A = this chain, B = another copy of it.
Amino acid sequence: MAETPKAENLTWHRGEIGAGDRRKAYGHRGAVLWLTGLSGSGKSTLAHRLERKLLERGCVTYVLDGDNVRHGLNADLGFAPDERKENIRRVGHVARLFADSGALVITAFISPYRADRDQIRAMLPEGDFVEIHVAADLATCEERDPKGLYAKARAGEIKGFTGIDAPYEAPETPELKVDTGSQDVDGSAGDVLAWLEERGYFDAED
């Protein structure tokens, strides 16, 4: 049986649990690791590798992505501009709840608009929003085209596809930019973990 995170000697003397209590209990701070990048840049692969490495390390973590959000919470939303905006707004709020719960939550959405991402940053406490630009150039993403979406967009079968006939607004000053064009997923995950480690995210106290 694995070691469990039980910490039975912890006690609280306040009625309410605060961020510091959760941090002490879980051994790390809560935050949103917000991945943004083109379709095919490797967001989802990186997100799940990060989740695995964080869990192996004993962290509380979870991935929010199209798979578990679009079919549930946001099943009422399509892909029109207003609906994309509402999709990202809700994801931002759910991510905020997870970060508030003390988890290191990883989101994997193209989230092409700077204003949408900045809105989510603004609603989180300082340091809780870690914007990570998953950067591979368009040619690389289009060559990978794991879901065949670029081909469809080029053929005009999909309208408003980011990078083809809709803009991608790359972050200007992200916390971190990982090069998923030239390094493998473990290299990129290592970059993120090193960044978090250096800035004390894995410390049980501030």
Q: Does A157 belong to the interface (CB within 8 Å)?
A: no
Q: Which residues of B sit under 8 angstroms from A10, Cβ to Cβ?
A: 2-3, 55-56, 58
Contact A3 B12 (CB under 8 A): no
Contact B72 A97 (CB under 8 A): yes
For A75, the closest partner residue in chain B by CB is B93
* A135, chain B: closest CB distance, angstroms: 23
Q: Does A4 belong to the interface (CB within 8 Å)?
A: yes
Q: Which residues of B sit under 8 angstroms from A27, Cβ to Cβ?
A: 2, 4-6
How many monomers of this protein are in the complex?
2
Main secondary structure of the interface of A (DSSP, over half): loop
Contact B2 A55 (CB under 8 A): no
Q: Which A111-169 residues sit within 8 Å CB-CB of chain B?
A: 123
Q: Does A81 belong to the interface (CB within 8 Å)?
A: no
Q: Which A58-102 residues sit within 8 Å CB-CB of chain B?
A: 58-62, 64, 68-69, 72-73, 90, 93-94, 96-98, 100-102
Contact A17 B52 (CB under 8 A): yes
Q: Does A43 belong to the interface (CB within 8 Å)?
A: no
* A85, chain B: closest CB distance, angstroms: 12
Q: Which residues of B sit under 8 angstroms from A52, Cβ to Cβ?
A: 12, 15, 17
Q: Name the one of B56, B72, B94, B102 contacting A73, with C-beta atoms under 8 angstroms.
A: B94
Q: Name the one of B4, B57, B73, B102 contacting A58, with C-beta atoms under 8 angstroms.
A: B4
How far apart are the CA atoms of A26 and B28 in the complex, in Å?
14
Contact B17 A48 (CB under 8 A): yes
Contact B55 A73 (CB under 8 A): no
How far apart are the CA atoms of A110 and B68 in the complex, in Å?
26
Q: Does A22 belong to the interface (CB within 8 Å)?
A: yes
How far apart are the CA atoms of A23 and B205 in the complex, in Å?
25
Contact A1 B205 (CB under 8 A): yes
